[in-house]
Chains A and B, each alone.
Chain A
């Protein structure tokens, strides 16, 4: 009899039973595989844990090199050398300071000793018949010197031991009892309390500044306070012609007037006035004021003879070029310079001038009235200092 066909219900049942068995088998195999995998994982974990050591550190990685101990040793050596050099330098500095302080103190002691010598001489010379007032003054001076002596070592003692005072100082310090018991007068009065700054009488606060003789300044001529002229001699009578029709400037360091002085004075020839119209008319004609309206002097050298910067005075020879009637000639005029109370510079001087050197003919009326060709030229000038330029 043939077997049942697979597609029969009996074959189907068998196939289904086989399929179920297969599923169980596969499940068992899967479970076994998971177990084996887990076991292998545990074994691997244990093995890695035994062979690997993990270190944790915050220190940065360092390159290979000398050991830290060696480096530290080098640093300590370098620091040692630095300290030694510093100590040597400080020693030299302190030694210099010590010597300077010693010299200063010696000088101070020498000065005090000299003052005490003088004082002792005065005391001994007046001991025979001492005036009460004078004696009291001397006692005060001695006390002041003692106080000064006491103060001087105190200043230096912060740095070095105080050397013993000189024998002379000791001798003076050990004066008789009245002197030793004299009231001590302070060498320096206590400083006064700072007063509130007060404005000047003009209501403005004036800066503390003044004209200095040893400063190079430029000055402007003050025509209203200046005059130049000449004195002439004639057979009839002598006369003076002068003018304030001036302009000019000056630049110099008055304490060193020879150091590159510059000055230029210009006078209006037509303003020369002698007090006589007819004479003035002839004078202007002879000076050809229409063609040469100015008389000029330009300074190119100053030869000082005396300079007193403290008194703000100077004198010397002003050498320059004088131009009259268009003719220029070198001249030399002795002059005096001084500052007045209004801080103006006064310049005065005079010289003899031969008019014919400048092509100026002198009047001659029929040989009876003649004028000498040599005239006495003089200047009386005032200058005001120009403001200082910036820089």
Chain B
């Protein structure tokens, strides 16, 4: 009668220590942390600073290799974009930015409005030609 509990405990211990740790097929790909972020509409104070692109999506990804922005609290901004070329070439521009209610970002007077959202140290800008995820640049 005392053997049964012992066997049960042994089975329980083996079953926990011998559980399979095989990764499921759908989990083999690297989990993209940027896709797990919870984004909220940006406020003007969120945008001030130096931003460097982390990810480019949509049609813009085919023509851009790098994007950086400097945005100050007086409403001025300066940007640099590396176009794929060939040859790859940087273009720079400056202007004034504004942010409307709901996170509608206007970078310059004649640009298409963008949707600006933030999550932690990341800023996401979305438009009809793609989406950019930028992170706060820290120069060490």
A274–B81 CA distance with the chains assembled, in angstroms: 41
A200–B129 touching, CB < 8 Å: yes
A276–B85 CA distance with the chains assembled, in angstroms: 47
A110–B57 CA distance with the chains assembled, in angstroms: 46
What 0/1 pattern do residues 109 to 133 of A give for CB contact below 8 A with B?
0000000000000000000000000
Question: Which B residues lie within 8 Å of A196 (CB)?
Answer: 110
Question: Which A residues lie within 8 Å of B5 (CB)?
Answer: none
A196–B112 CA distance with the chains assembled, in angstroms: 12
Q: Nearest-CB distance from A347 to chain B (Å)?
A: 11
What 0/1 pattern do residues 228 to 257 of A give for CB contact below 8 A with B?
010100001111101010000000000000
In the complex, what residue of chain B is closest to A384 when comparing beta carbons? B61
What 0/1 pattern do residues 96 to 129 of B give for CB contact below 8 A with A?
0000000001011011111000000000011111
A244–B30 touching, CB < 8 Å: yes
A342–B55 touching, CB < 8 Å: yes
Q: Nearest-CB distance from B97 to chain A (Å)?
A: 8
What 0/1 pattern do residues 9 to 29 of B give for CB contact below 8 A with A?
000000001111111010011
In the complex, what residue of chain A is closest to B14 when comparing beta carbons? A236
Q: Please report which residues of chain B, range 50-108, place their CB below 8 angstroms from some CB of chain A when the two chains form the complex.
A: 55-65, 67, 77, 79, 81, 83-88, 91, 93, 95, 105, 107-108
Question: Which B residues lie within 8 Å of A204 (CB)?
Answer: 79, 81, 91, 93
Q: Please report which residues of chain A, range 323-363, place their CB below 8 angstroms from some CB of chain B when the two chains form the complex.
A: 341-344, 348
Q: Nearest-CB distance from B88 to chain A (Å)?
A: 5
A201 contacts which of B19, B22, B81, B112 (Cβ < 8 Å)? B112
Question: Which A residues lie within 8 Å of B22 (CB)?
Answer: 231, 238-240
Q: Is A380 an interface residue (CB 8 A)?
A: yes
Q: Is B47 an interface residue (CB 8 A)?
A: no
Most chain B CB atoms below 10 A, which of A202, A226, A275: A202
B20–A239 touching, CB < 8 Å: yes
What interface size band does chain B fall in?
35 or more
A343–B61 touching, CB < 8 Å: yes
Q: Nearest-CB distance from A389 to chain B (Å)?
A: 6
A362–B60 CA distance with the chains assembled, in angstroms: 48
Q: Is B132 an interface residue (CB 8 A)?
A: yes
A75–B25 CA distance with the chains assembled, in angstroms: 90
Question: Which A residues lie within 8 Å of B55 (CB)?
Answer: 342
Q: Is A225 an interface residue (CB 8 A)?
A: yes
Q: Nearest-CB distance from B56 to chain A (Å)?
A: 7
B108–A236 touching, CB < 8 Å: no
Q: Is A1 an interface residue (CB 8 A)?
A: no
A196–B111 CA distance with the chains assembled, in angstroms: 11
Q: A210-B59, A237-B18 are in contact. Are A229 and B127 (CB under 8 A)?
A: no
Q: Is A292 an interface residue (CB 8 A)?
A: no
B21 contacts which of A200, A201, A239, A390 (Cβ < 8 Å)? A239
Question: Which A residues lie within 8 Å of B126 (CB)?
Answer: 201
Residues of A within 8 A of B (CB): 196, 198-204, 206-207, 209-211, 224-227, 229, 231, 236-240, 242, 244, 274-276, 341-344, 348, 378, 380, 382, 385, 387-390
Residues of B within 8 A of A (CB): 17-23, 25, 28-30, 32, 55-65, 67, 77, 79, 81, 83-88, 91, 93, 95, 105, 107-108, 110-114, 125-129, 132
Name 7 A/B residue pairs within 8 A (Cβ), A-sorted: A202-B132, A203-B79, A204-B93, A276-B21, A343-B57, A388-B85, A389-B86
Given contacts A202-B125, A210-B59, 20 further A-B contacts (CB under 8 A): A196-B110, A200-B127, A201-B111, A202-B79, A202-B114, A203-B77, A206-B59, A207-B83, A226-B30, A229-B28, A231-B22, A237-B21, A238-B20, A239-B22, A341-B57, A342-B55, A343-B62, A348-B28, A387-B84, A387-B87
